[in-house]
Amino acid sequence: MTVTTQLNVRPSGAVLGADVEGVDLSQPLSAEAFDAILQAWHSHLVLRFRGQRLDDPALIAFSRRFGTLDLAPITVTGEREIPEFPEINVISNVLVDGRAIGSLGSYEAEWHTDMSYNDLPPMMSCLYSLEVPDSGGNTGFLNMYEAYETLPSDLRQVVDTHRCKHDSSRNSAGELRKGARDLKDPREVPGALHPLARTHPATGRKAVFLGRRRNAYIPGLPLDESEAVLDRLWAHALQPRFQWEQVWRVGDVVLWDNRCVMHRRDAFSASARRIMHRTQVQGDRPF
């Protein structure tokens, strides 16, 4: 039997998310097997591979099948979290000698799209879990195609004809970036402009494209109107019927499509340990 005939895709039952079974990601994938994974990804938006055992080179090799990898950010120490593997970003609350070994701590991460404040936001993010807390730290995902397709017609009219500015002055924790000014008026903050309705380059489907709510602004609209439209859009998109939640086990590889998915994370106990290794694949300019 070839790898492809063993590969099984089991949809979550929600409007996004599927388990891919029968594949060992530590081994090189045939073109056929990878094609099947890519197809499943385009259909289900978030894929989960349970029970994997990957070292960093294997995680990098698998992620690279999807495209060119971004390098992890440089930390305050001036190094990357794993200097030998600059493609790996550590997401963790664990402290070693009083210093965090990774990003995001143990707090809640609100709904967002990764790095959409850039002109070329990443298309894929991938997390591999090495240690997980007994409870908390679940990751939620939203299907933004569904959000688009179910918009009331007046909102659909706005998103089809407007762009949104994605604030680049603050990081995912809402903290001001180094050198950024603390501007209160969303019209003034710096950031990338992207269409509110984004067409997925592979599937041709349209999705609502939002980054973060704070300081978002729809150029061309008076501020109060922009705020009102964004509030309605966010309220529409965050409906539970568009969501699926990942409850982590050690050995899960979860990858999501930032072009049509938003995500969030629950807080968890600061005394618990959670360690993920993460990769990110470069994307194109949204259209």
# residues contacting Mn ion (CB under 5 A): 1
127 binds ligand OGA (CB under 6 A): yes
Among 63, 93, 113, 139, which residue interacts with ligand OGA (rule: CB under 6 A)?
139
Q: What gap in Å lies between CA 267 and CA 6, rounded to an integer? A: 37
Smallest gap, in angstroms, from Cβ of residue 112 to Mn ion?
6
Smallest gap, in angstroms, from Cβ of residue 227 to ligand OGA?
25
167 binds Mn ion (CB under 5 A): no
Cα Rg of the chain (Å, integer) = 19
Among 52, 263, 281, 286, which residue interacts with ligand OGA (rule: CB under 6 A)?
263
Binding segment (CB under 5 A) for Mn ion, from list 30-38, 107-115, 179-187, 254-262: 107-115
The three state secondary structure string of the chain is CCHHHHCEEEECCCCCCEEEECCCCCCCCCHHHHHHHHHHHHHHCEEEECCCCCCHHHHHHHHHCCCCECCCCCCCCCCCCCCCCCCCEEEECCEECCEECCEECCCCEEEECCCCCCCCCCCEEEEEEEECCCCCCCEEEEEHHHHHHCCCHHHHHHHHHCEEEEECCECCCCCECCCCCCCCCCCCCCEEEEECEEECCCCCCEEECCCCCCCCECCCCCHHHHHHHHHHHHHHHCCHHHEEEECCCCCCEEEEECCCEEEEECCCCCCCCCEEEEEEECCCCCC
126 binds ligand OGA (CB under 6 A): no
Smallest gap, in angstroms, from Cβ of residue 137 to ligand OGA?
6
- Please answer whether residues 123 and 116 qualify as being in contact, where contact means their C-beta atoms are separated by less than 8 angstroms: no
218 binds ligand OGA (CB under 6 A): no
Residues 239-258 that bind ligand OGA (CB under 6 A): none
139: partner contacted, choices ligand OGA, Mn ion, none (Cβ within 5-8 A by kind): ligand OGA
276 binds ligand OGA (CB under 6 A): yes
Nearer to ligand OGA, 139 or 243 (CB): 139
Q: What gap in Å lies between CA 178 and CA 76, rounded to an integer? A: 11
Q: How many residues does the chain have?
A: 287
Nearer to ligand OGA, 223 or 247 (CB): 247
# residues contacting ligand OGA (CB under 6 A): 11
Among 18, 20, 36, 109, which residue interacts with ligand OGA (rule: CB under 6 A)?
109
Q: What gap in Å lies between CA 73 and CA 75, rounded to an integer? A: 6
Smallest gap, in angstroms, from Cβ of residue 181 to ligand OGA?
25
Smallest gap, in angstroms, from Cβ of residue 127 to ligand OGA?
6
Among 20, 104, 216, 230, which residue interacts with ligand OGA (rule: CB under 6 A)?
104
Residues 58-97 that bind ligand OGA (CB under 6 A): 91
114 binds Mn ion (CB under 5 A): yes
Q: Which residues bind ligand OGA (CB under 6 A)?
A: 91, 104, 109, 114, 125, 127, 139, 263, 265, 276, 278
Q: Which residues bind Mn ion (CB under 5 A)?
A: 114
